[in-house]
Amino acid sequence: MGAVGRVWSSAEDTPTGTAGSGDPPGPERPVPDRARLLASLPQLAAGQVVFVPADPPRLGRVAFWTPGGAPPDLGVEPEEFTVVRPYGAEVRRERVAAVPVPVEQALPLLTRCRALGGGAGPAFWGAAAVLGLSLLARGRVRPGSSPGGFDAWWVGPLDAGDQERLASLGAAMPPEARAVAAADSSPPVLPAPSLLELPAPEPLLRAFLDAMADSLTRTPAARPPAGGTASTIRAPRTVPRARPAAVPAPVRDQPAGVWAATDRDPALQVSLRLELAGDSVRAVVQLRSLADPTVLTDAADLWSGAAAAPELLGPRALSDTRSALRRAVRAWPPAARLLEAGAPTGLDLSDEETRALLGAAAERLAAAGVAVHWPKELVRELTAVGVLEPVAGQGRRSSAASFLSSGALLDFRWRVALGDRELTAQELERLVRAHRPVVRLRDQWVVVDPELVRRLRRAARPGAGPLTAIDALGAALTGSVEVDGERVDVTASGVLEELRARIADPEARAAREPQGPPKALAATLRDYQLRGLNWLHRMTSLGLGGCLADDMGLGKTVTLIALHLRRQQRGSTAGPTLVVCPASLLGNWEREIRRFAPATPVRRFHGPGRDLADVTGIKEEGGFVLTTYGTMRRDAERLAEHPWGLLVADEAQHVKNPHAHTAKALRTIPSRARVALTGTPVENNLSELWALLDWTTPGLLGSLSSFRDRYAKAVEGDHDELAARRLAALVRPFLLRRRKSDPGVAPELPPKTETEQPVSLTGEQVSLYEALVRELLAEIEQADGIARRGLVMKLLTGLKQVCNHPAQFLKEPGSARLAGRSGKLALLDELLDTALAEGESALVFTQYVAMGRLIERHLAERGVDTLFLHGGTTVGRREKMVDAFQAGERRVFLLSLKAAGTGLNLTRAGHVVHFDRWWNPAVEDQATDRAYRIGQTRPVRVHKLIAEGTVEERVAGLLRRKRELADSVLGTGEGAFSELSDGELADLVALRGRGGSER
């Protein structure tokens, strides 16, 4: 139950009288110092404790003393007490100096003494305090009268379990804990028992619990001490004052602290028995004797006087029954109808009341001491699970491949079972139409979940529509499907379950179904490459596509060549492979095919004189045709006229925008299977993942708008873990990603060290930086919409150029001086001098062609020969530059990040320098992987140059915190900053630590 103060709501249960202290006249009790109480805990735990009962109970005290020593210093003068203590078989009186503490202040000490261990007395009374707190927290407290006629709060009513715990604890009371005390100066105390015997344990324990109830109930916002329950005990707003009470003679004659238990504890327990008949449910009031729990009778016998046990008859039984029913009303309001009856025996329940008793209402009643008993034949074994099965009349497919290729449609339906037996259509119809919380099915009463019935009714409505085979496969993988706008759990069976099992865990399945590489392959595949081949072959054989998303340099090209060769071994999958790639990779693909599949013909479909007639023979022989994204976009109709066995999109991030012309053209080319190759399946947001997988396996992720609503927004914006897990389960079978750092993938790769190299701005750079911030922030504050976003991008671009070199920002002529004006350029000189002195080669990446030309001129002036590859470099020239660098003819290779960040094998380099940041870790990683890839034998050191105190330093921190692109790295790169407020933008670009230095 809640706070104790909530218990007293009926007039019959509340003591009469007006508010007052209720304490008898007497000296004011001294209050011990809290700090000294806590400091004395070890001494108190090792000492002795005696409980001193009083009337009214709230005046009871707990006395602490140390046998044979000085009393504890608690900030209160000790008092002389005469205690009765056991000495072997004898009982003697002894005079001691003890410190009395009010019960409510002694409780924290007792519970902590119990935790500390020590004397038997403190340990016992600590356990008693814990028991009392648990009773009070459950609302087991009621008003009554003390033997002296004072209003008091008592512990009770106690049920059979409470009484058993109290009796068990009383039986364990050690002799030391049964000492009694008396002092002339103490408040009125109950008369001591005979000095020839110790007091009975249980009455003394009850007196202590009553003292707790009477003191804590009157203490505003009192809290249980350590070791008790966590509930807060609060007093009623009004406290009954002392009043004379008519105390029964048996009670007046009781020894001190021990009044009759029958005056306050009920002799019976009330419960409700639910009876089911036809369409009606009735709650019958029944009574159980606490003296003999085997005696059980209906309340009707109480009112008629026919009850067999004496404790279930008479005025006391009537009072106890009504008191229990009043408590039931507070837990469950419909019980008020019982109290309205002259002789409450039971009540008929509505459907809503029955549903309540099937759930939380029964728990509240049990907490109030009124149990609810349902018939034994009532079962709660009704279960439902969604299933997908072929649309009527389509029949069942015998294999996974035929299932996917047949255009099969599946219906969703609910499979409802009672135990392990599925309900028939007639039983299901009865369940839906019953509108009842319990229904009679198969000769037993069954609890019906209203949510289940609601779903069954919605599923029965037309309009949901069948699911395609690929939709059903997605539902089987995620374990859920959307039905009528609501996601529900489903289970797969038959061929659908077979298909799910075959693709659910790509690498594990490949390991269980090992196949060697094709005989025509002139290469030895690594274990992870062989697993990748088996996975690709299984997916494409089923008519499904896939995305091989291994890190750059792990051999995606050779794996794809092996896939092509294996597909040629079966007539159903044989045919030509069309590879679409960036122009820079045409030569690499042609070289790799001639190297690893020398018997396989390969032709390029590229350049001004291209003609598909030149590759007709290639297609008939099952060879390779290579083309670029630009050529494919222009000649998509011509390419679509020819049947392709396999369509491959290399560096597939080039078609990550599904609305671009290139991506649309790629979708028009038919093929038996599609494979995407990319080291960065997600660069900026999850919509890019949709674009890749919707091309390889159309329909898998639904429409782009539904994907954004269902997954992208939930994962990127709301960080919804459930949506992330569901998306992972859906895409995992169709996307295989291995990293160089994964165990066993590339153990022979040397170490890679990445270092952020801070540089200081020169004085010229500081002046330009501050002037640009001041000028453009003022304009940004006056702009909005597209104009504001344009100004923000202008600001960020200008600041990055200032950090690179003033000559880049100012667009100075080629004759301008370069040395001594840029901290980055000075550090680059140091890095390259060190690398060249060690006989190493280096790659230098910049996102600006203009900056690359400045670096090229500067290094030439210093006598360093370089190569410079950018977007304007022809395909032939690119290949010659790569060969020259790999041969060691030139040792410094300048590269435009966008043009050279993919597809190049530059393992000659041992150093990679990112002169300026792309603000997207995936792009930077791709560039670094030009050097850090299979074939690299020397350690690779990556240097990222960052201007100190500038926007570059703040963005570097963001990149470190959002390294994983699947977690949406910076939205869309630099564009994400255009949505910052004026204040946030000013903080981002503010120049900090203006200690610019000339180098």
According to DSSP, residue 520 is labeled T
The residue whose two tokens read 């994907």 is 707
Neighbours of 12 (CB within 10 A): 9
132 neighbors 212 (Cβ within 8 angstroms): yes
558 neighbors 627 (Cβ within 8 angstroms): no
At 460 the pLDDT is 55
pLDDT tens by residue, 90-149? 667 777 888 888 888 888 888 887 777 767 788 889 899 999 988 888 878 877 767 777
115 neighbors 227 (Cβ within 8 angstroms): yes
The CA distance from 546 to 283, in Å, is 62
CA dihedral of residues 65, 68, 69, 75 (deg, nearest 10):
20
CA 70 to chain centre: 57
At 613 the pLDDT is 72
Going by pLDDT thresholds of 50, 70 and 90, the confidence category of residue 233 is very low
What's the average model confidence in pLDDT over 268-283? 85
- Checking if the pLDDT of 164 tops 90, the result is no
In the Cβ-directed half-sphere of 309, how many Cα atoms lie within 13 Å? 19
The CA distance from 312 to 304, in Å, is 11
At 334 the pLDDT is 92
Helix 527-541 to helix 556-567 angle (10° resolution) is: 50
According to DSSP, residue 240 is labeled B
Q: Which residues of 460-480 are buried (b: 16+ CB within 10 A; e: fewer)?
A: eeeebeebbbbbbbbbbbbbb
- Checking if the pLDDT of 275 tops 50, the result is yes
List C-alpha distances in Å: 44 to 61, 83, 129, 155, 169: 15, 17, 15, 27, 21
State the Cα angle at 573 between 571 and 579, rounded to 5°. 130
Backbone angles phi, psi at 449, to 5 degrees: -75, 120
Give, in words, the CATH class of 753-989: alpha beta
pLDDT tens by residue, 826-874? 999 999 998 998 889 999 999 999 999 999 999 999 999 999 999 888 8
List C-alpha distances in Å: 744 to 247, 295, 632, 737, 751: 86, 72, 38, 14, 15
What are the residue ranges of CATH 3.40.50.10810 in the chain? 510-736
At 7 the pLDDT is 28
SS3 label, residue 313: coil
Q: Which two tokens stand for residue 195?
A: 């000095």
Going by pLDDT thresholds of 50, 70 and 90, the confidence category of residue 941 is very high
What's the average model confidence in pLDDT over 790-816? 91
pLDDT tens by residue, 354-390? 888 888 888 889 888 898 888 877 777 677 766 776 6
757 neighbors 565 (Cβ within 8 angstroms): no
Helix 120-137 to helix 160-171 angle (10° resolution) is: 170
301 neighbors 312 (Cβ within 8 angstroms): yes
- Which residue did the predictor score with more confidence, 161 or 854? 854
37 neighbors 73 (Cβ within 8 angstroms): no
CA 1 to chain centre: 31
For the four alpha carbons of 135, 139, 143 and 144, in that order, the dihedral sign comes to negative
- Checking if the pLDDT of 2 tops 50, the result is no
CA 131 to chain centre: 37
The CA distance from 688 to 240, in Å, is 73
Most confident of 182-186, 339-343, 491-495, 757-761: 757-761
At 396 the pLDDT is 52
Q: Mean pLDDT in the chain?
A: 77
At 10 the pLDDT is 30
Q: Which two tokens stand for residue 638?
A: 């011509």
In the Cβ-directed half-sphere of 748, how many Cα atoms lie within 13 Å? 8
Beta pairing, strands 674-677 & 646-650: parallel
- Which residue did the predictor score with more confidence, 344 or 4? 344
pLDDT tens by residue, 538-552? 888 888 888 998 887
Going by pLDDT thresholds of 50, 70 and 90, the confidence category of residue 741 is confident
Q: Which two tokens stand for residue 497?
A: 């379950």
- Checking if the pLDDT of 220 tops 60, the result is no
For the four alpha carbons of 877, 882, 887 and 888, in that order, the dihedral sign comes to positive
446 neighbors 453 (Cβ within 8 angstroms): no
The residue whose two tokens read 């119990």 is 114
Q: Which two tokens stand for residue 245?
A: 């009470």
DSSP for 48-80, please give it: EEEEE--SSGGG-EEEEE-TTSPPP-SSS--EE
Which residues are 646's β-sheet partners?
Answer: 577
pLDDT tens by residue, 569-608? 888 888 999 999 988 788 889 989 999 999 999 999 988 8
At 964 the pLDDT is 45
pLDDT tens by residue, 278-313? 778 899 999 888 877 788 888 888 888 877 777 777
Strands (E), 350-408: 371-373, 378-379, 382-390
Share of the chain above pLDDT 90, in %: 21
Q: Which residues contact 512 (CB under 8 A, 6 or more apart)?
A: none
Q: Residue 718, exposed/middle/buried by CB under 10 A (0-12, 13-18, 19+)?
A: exposed
Mean pLDDT is lowest, of 418-422, 880-884, 933-937, for 418-422
At 925 the pLDDT is 82
Q: Which two tokens stand for residue 222?
A: 């009192």
Mean pLDDT is lowest, of 29-33, 441-445, 599-603, 798-802, for 29-33
Q: Which residues of 328-344 are buried (b: 16+ CB within 10 A; e: fewer)?
A: bbbbbebbeebeeeeeb
pLDDT tens by residue, 716-728? 666 667 777 777 7
According to DSSP, residue 255 is labeled P
Mean pLDDT is lowest, of 58-62, 490-494, 616-620, 680-684, for 616-620
SS3 label, residue 449: coil
Which residue type sits at 692?
L
pLDDT tens by residue, 436-490? 777 777 767 777 776 677 666 665 554 456 777 777 777 777 777 776 666 666 7
186 neighbors 79 (Cβ within 8 angstroms): yes
The CA distance from 975 to 987, in Å, is 17
- Residue positions counted in the chain: 999
What are the residue ranges of CATH 3.40.50.300 in the chain? 753-989
Beta pairing, strands 409-418 & 296-298: unpaired
Q: Which two tokens stand for residue 728?
A: 């992972």
Q: 685: closest CA among 665, 721, 662, 658?
A: 658
At 977 the pLDDT is 58
What's the average model confidence in pLDDT over 65-94? 74
Q: Residue 643: is the preceding peptide bond cis (ω within 30°)?
A: no
- Checking if the pLDDT of 252 tops 70, the result is no
What's the average model confidence in pLDDT over 632-650? 92
Beta pairing, strands 546-548 & 577-581: unpaired
The residue whose two tokens read 């005046």 is 59
State the Cα angle at 286 between 284 and 288, rounded to 5°. 165
Expressed in percent and rounded to 5, the helix, strand and coil fractions of the chain are 45, 20, 40
Going by pLDDT thresholds of 50, 70 and 90, the confidence category of residue 175 is confident
At 585 the pLDDT is 82
Helix 849-861 to helix 823-837 angle (10° resolution) is: 60
At 751 the pLDDT is 83
204 neighbors 109 (Cβ within 8 angstroms): no
Backbone angles phi, psi at 81, to 5 degrees: -125, 145
The residue whose two tokens read 């435009």 is 896
Most confident of 556-565, 738-747, 982-991: 556-565
Q: 561: closest CA among 539, 534, 540, 533?
A: 533
Q: 668: closest CA among 642, 693, 688?
A: 642
**What's the count of helices (H) and strands (E) in the chain, helices before strands?**
38, 34
At 566 the pLDDT is 93
Homologous superfamily (CATH) of 510-736 is Tandem AAA-ATPase domain (3.40.50.10810)
Q: 916: closest CA among 792, 828, 818?
A: 828
What's the average model confidence in pLDDT over 879-905? 86
The CA distance from 518 to 533, in Å, is 10
SS3 label, residue 123: helix
At 502 the pLDDT is 76
- Checking if the pLDDT of 647 tops 90, the result is yes
What's the average model confidence in pLDDT over 212-230? 55
